[in-house]
Amino acid sequence: MKAPRPPRQGLVIVNTGNGKGKTTAALGVLFRAWGRDLRVIMLQFLKYEGARFGEIRAAEKIGVTIRPIGDGFTWTSRDMESTIALARHGWEEAKRLITSHNYDVVILDEFTYPLHFGWLETAAVVAWLQAHKPPSLHLIITGRDAPSELIAYADLVTEMREIKHPWTLQGLTAQPGIDF
């Protein structure tokens, strides 16, 4: 007789650092989880609503939701109040998804930026997650400059470190299918 499988323990995973690959790593987990019949969703905190990047197109083809909820790159915002409001609204939506019990994996892509810039209070976010994240839910958070409180809370933290980049060395811009 087989021993019963232990209940799934949901992990909090943070992909951070200045190197490329944070979102790509999260998408790898999304695809792997989907392949195991887990229910997955991704909110993208910087990409603008209506964006049609490659990962969004691919996700649509397999029936996975990736929702851009930002207004583009924060450092080019012409209306910072609107940008901050979108991030705060995105966090409210994230809380709804996390507690909905409709998903096994929730990915908050580029979520470290609203924390790093102080648009959301990191201690309050971590406290909310500690109190409300279902024990079996896997939560993945990506972005540069992950705050120390988030790193301390996470079960797994990976730092992507840039060693060499085509922009800095050759002036090459982002490549379709590779970067977006």
Expressed as residue numbers, the domain containing 26 is 12-161
The C-alpha atoms of residue 64 and residue 42 are separated, in whole angstroms, by 9
24 catalytic, yes or no? yes
Q: Is 173 domain-assigned?
A: no
Given the residues 23, 74, 83, 122, select the one marked as catalytic: 23
47 catalytic, yes or no? no
pTM of the model: 0.90
Q: What is the CATH number of the domain that holds 94?
A: 3.40.50.300
Q: Is 171 domain-assigned?
A: no
pLDDT tens string 43-101: 999 998 888 899 999 999 999 999 999 987 666 778 889 999 999 999 999 999 999 99
102 catalytic, yes or no? no
Tell the burial category of 175 from Cβ atoms under 10 Å away from its Cβ (0-12, 13-18, 19+): exposed
In the chain, how many domains are there? 1
Given the residues 15, 16, 22, 45, select the one marked as catalytic: 22
Q: Is 169 domain-assigned?
A: no
76 catalytic, yes or no? no
Say if residue 7's pLDDT is above 70.
no
Q: Is 166 domain-assigned?
A: no
pLDDT tens string 88-125: 999 999 999 999 999 999 999 999 999 999 999 999 99
164 catalytic, yes or no? no
Q: Is 174 domain-assigned?
A: no
